[in-house]
Amino acid sequence: MRRPLASRVRSTVFRHRWLVCATASAALLPPLLIGPTADDDVAADERLQRDFTQAADEYHVPRSVLMAVSYQQSRWDAHPGVPSVAGGYGPMHLVDTKAAAGRAWAQGQAQGQGQGQSQGQGQAGEDGGQALAGAPAASGGKPAAAPAGQPTDLHRAARLIGTPAARLRSDSTANVRGGAALLAAAQRQLGHPLSADPADWWEAVARFPGASDTIAAATYANDVFALIRRGANRTTDAGQHVSLAAAPGVRPHRVLLRDTNRPKQVECPVDLSCSWLSAPHVKIDDEAYGNHDPADRPRDEKIDYIVIHDTEAPLKSMLQTVQNPTEPSWHYSIRSKDGQVTQHVRTKDEAWHSGSQFVNARSIGIEHEGFLKQPDAWYTETMYRTSARLVRWLARKYDVPLDRQHILGHDNVPSPTATSIPDMHDDPGPFWDWRHYFDLLGAPLRATAGPDSDVVMILPDYRTYKPLYTGCDKDDVPCRPHGSSAVRLHTEPADDAPLIQDPGRRPEGDDSTVDVHDLGSRVSAGQTFAVADRSGDWTAIWYQGEKGWFRNPKGRPVAVGATGRMVTPKEGLEEIPVFGRPLPEESAYPEDMEPPSESPLPYSLLEGQRYVTQSSVVGTYADRSVFDAAPRPVVQGSEEYYEIQLGQRIGYVRAGDVDVVAGYAGAAGPEAGN
């Protein structure tokens, strides 16, 4: 049996008491029945800032420590009335294990049962692989309650401050006071004074989230103190303006730990808690095998992409799925409540996760526990931070550019063939916060050119940009307003103009809709497009062969100026084909191999149109039709293709069909404040 955190830490580096004892802590810090006094002089949008100050003073916790812990827990957001899947509420993400986790789980189960397709996706049958995509395995059990002594227990916090637990779920002031009381109790249990020096609180901070191991605890504390040193400013989801001044001189006691129990095959940065659960590579019968392919990447094929998925099922179900040889596979899973990482396939091998063998062969797939319709419950700050830390490490290891043509959502992966477009997936959806994610990656999305540039980057303000979506709870019923990374496109510069149609997604000609799963007329934060036209507050971009218009007012832009190269059909070519997979030229295949047939997508690049490109590739192909324990030979072509931002998904065009042109950056210079 694995020893508890307190025992392991005591025997290694800390030599302090970490074991939480709720009754003892309550005795150490009696309930305070007097709450903070009203302050009529505080502006309505600055009350949370006041709450941090008053709670810090009341419980003798350095304000910077309290604020940085809260930022690490929730970015100071309250997600009003919506708990995370772990049962976490409010700016301090205090955990109510008696109610919220089970409710979020039940909601997720109801949505998961309504999904028409598995969120892992095998290789398309026309793509030379096995058609193994299917529904997830049977769902797992109800989330277990947190162990006794959960450090962020909401009910314990309520007792410490003498306030009903229900108030800590709905009232940010009470929630912050509860968090301050828990931090003070932790500091006392460690035998430390309630010091005014933030540097003295490292160990209390490390134990605050109830991390499952010393690696996760130390990483959490180090991240909190890194934030204290650099400071932060943000407007929360409730419109509260909060600021933490930088304190670069704060240098707490730090412990650099390595997980000596980590399996040798795990590939993770040293400051992440990672485990191994193998996906099988086995023969099923004479016609099929599963569920991934041995390879020798990056020697045989370069890793160009990292694909972000969400599971659309509870993680326990997906861990069962990835062990089933008749189901798809992916490289990593990340748990919502605490960011725990589990690896399933070595990164040198090819997992079946994207629906495209070409992308699978050149990518690493990461599944995030969650449902795209319930971002507040499942897309936790802990999961975002863990994912970004893993992706940043992988991108550095394999030289993957940190941009939106290489860090893809599953909803950005191109269909390999025209007929498989309707089967491609739509996760992680419009509520995944790409702007925040790229901040965490250390590659912020921002304007790099003037407002009249030839290229724009889609970049709505996630907090305030709340377009209408339907279908989160029931078909055609509006979702609760929520921040979004996605922008819709119209056929004309008018709000009542029809939405752009996607002839590949709906070949029968049905209209695009505002349903949360409908990608037919959407673009996403960080994606860059060539400007096709402008009219007042409206901007048009080239999108799947036509003009797509979106409202882009100067005062509240949803796209900003960007620099970049573009491709356009060579002079004399009225129309050129677009592909979802760049294949080698026929002469590159050995004589005993039948080349796969080309399948251009139902979109054309017309004379005069332009599309942004950030890289080029040569066609490659490996025959996956036969089970083999060794990597299959890769056919390497010599013909070059440009990867382009075709629409919501990327696409490829032959280099011989296009000219590469530079965009005008704009006379006014980069747009300030974006």
pLDDT at 113 over 70: no
In this structure, of 110-114, 239-243, 431-435, the range with the lowest mean pLDDT score is 110-114
Cβ within 8 Å of residue 301, ≥6 positions away? 295, 361, 362, 620, 622, 634
pLDDT of residue 429: 98
Going from the C-alpha of 619 to that of each of 415, 622, 654, the distances in angstroms are: 16, 11, 10
Residue type, 529: F
pLDDT of residue 253: 73
Residue of 378, 392, 390 whose CA lies nearest to 335: 378
In a domain, residue 256? The reply is no
Residue type, 257: L
28-73: pLDDT as tens digits: 333 333 344 445 578 999 999 999 999 999 999 999 999 999 999 9
Q: How far apart are CA 435 and CA 559, in angstroms?
A: 12
pLDDT of residue 82: 84
For the stretch 552-556, contacts whose Cβ atoms lie closer than 8 Å and that sit 24 or more positions apart, written own/partner, are 552/456, 554/451, 556/461, 556/464
DSSP per-residue letters across 245-258: ---TT---------
Structure tokens at 271: 């400051």
- Which of 194, 225, 244 marks a domain boundary? 244
124-180: pLDDT as tens digits: 333 333 332 222 333 333 333 333 457 899 999 999 999 999 999 999 999 999 999
Contact assessment for residue 283 and residue 102, using Cβ atoms and an 8 Å cutoff: no
In a domain, residue 582? The reply is yes
Cα angle value 631/636/639 (rounded, 5°)? 160
Tokens 């058609």 found at: 131
Question: For residue 658, what are the domain limits?
Answer: 443-674
Q: Cβ of 424: how many Cβ atoms within 10 Å? A: 25
Q: How far apart are CA 643 and CA 360, in angstroms?
A: 16
Structure tokens at 227: 């934030």
Name the 3-class secondary structure at 440. helix
Give the N- to C-terminal CA distance of the chain in Å, as an integer.
51
In a domain, residue 222? The reply is yes
Cα angle value 89/91/333 (rounded, 5°)? 65
pLDDT above 90 covers a percentage of the chain that reads 78
pLDDT of residue 259: 63
What are φ and ψ of residue 67, in 5° steps? -70, -40
In a domain, residue 40? The reply is yes
64-102: pLDDT as tens digits: 999 999 999 999 999 877 899 889 999 999 999 776 545
Q: Cβ of 89: how many Cβ atoms within 10 Å? A: 29
pLDDT of residue 32: 34
Residue of 116, 654, 158 whose CA lies nearest to 423: 116
Cis ω for the linkage preceding 298 (within 30 of 0) = yes
pLDDT at 21 over 70: no
Q: How far apart are CA 440 and CA 438, in angstroms?
A: 5
Instruction: For strands 350-351 and 292-293, give the pairing.
Output: antiparallel
Is the torsion defined by CA of 58, 61, 64, 68 positive or negative?
A: negative
Tokens 């060794």 found at: 630
pLDDT of residue 560: 98
Per the confidence metrics, is the pTM higher than 0.85? yes
Q: How far apart are CA 12 and CA 9, in angstroms?
A: 5
E-only strand ranges, 536-599: 538-543, 546-551, 559-562, 565-569, 575-577
Contact assessment for residue 542 and residue 528, using Cβ atoms and an 8 Å cutoff: no
Q: How far apart are CA 41 and CA 39, in angstroms?
A: 5
Q: How far apart are CA 90 and CA 70, in angstroms?
A: 9
For the stretch 461-469, contacts whose Cβ atoms lie closer than 8 Å and that sit 24 or more positions apart, written own/partner, are 461/556, 461/558, 462/433, 462/435, 462/436, 462/525, 463/235, 463/236, 463/237, 464/556, 465/558, 467/514, 468/514, 469/430, 469/514, 469/515, 469/516
The β-bridge partners of 523 are 487
Residue type, 636: Q
The β-bridge partners of 38 are none
Contact assessment for residue 84 and residue 339, using Cβ atoms and an 8 Å cutoff: no
- Which of 244, 259, 293 marks a domain boundary? 244
pLDDT above 70 covers a percentage of the chain that reads 84
In a domain, residue 334? The reply is no
Query: Sorting pLDDT into bands at 50, 70 and 90, what band is 496?
Result: very high
Structure tokens at 94: 């205090």
Give me the CATH number covering residue 50: 1.10.530
In this structure, of 261-270, 304-313, 490-499, the range with the lowest mean pLDDT score is 261-270
Report the mean per-residue pLDDT for the chain: 87
Residue 260 is given by DSSP the state T
Tokens 């933490």 found at: 244
In a domain, residue 649? The reply is yes
Count up the domains in the chain and report the number. Answer: 2
601-620: pLDDT as tens digits: 999 899 999 999 999 999 99
The β-bridge partners of 660 are 567
Instruction: For strands 305-310 and 363-368, give the pairing.
Output: parallel
445-460: pLDDT as tens digits: 999 999 999 999 999 9
Going from the C-alpha of 83 to that of each of 161, 221, 333, the distances in angstroms are: 21, 23, 22
Q: How far apart are CA 36 and CA 172, in angstroms?
A: 12
Residue of 180, 104, 103, 96 whose CA lies nearest to 145: 96
Tokens 């800590």 found at: 168
Q: How far apart are CA 460 and CA 486, in angstroms?
A: 8
pLDDT at 117 over 80: no
Q: How far apart are CA 92 and CA 424, in angstroms?
A: 38
In a domain, residue 367? The reply is no
pLDDT at 22 over 70: no
pLDDT at 109 over 70: no
Cα angle value 61/65/68 (rounded, 5°)? 145
Name the 3-class secondary structure at 155. helix
The β-bridge partners of 350 are 293
Contact assessment for residue 647 and residue 503, using Cβ atoms and an 8 Å cutoff: no
338-395: pLDDT as tens digits: 999 999 999 999 999 999 999 999 999 999 999 999 999 999 999 999 999 999 999 9
Cis ω for the linkage preceding 590 (within 30 of 0) = no
Tokens 């909601």 found at: 107
pLDDT of residue 428: 98
Name the 3-class secondary structure at 20. coil
The β-bridge partners of 313 are 370
Contact assessment for residue 378 and residue 143, using Cβ atoms and an 8 Å cutoff: no
In a domain, residue 386? The reply is no
In this structure, of 96-100, 477-481, 529-533, 536-540, the range with the lowest mean pLDDT score is 96-100
pLDDT at 637 over 70: yes
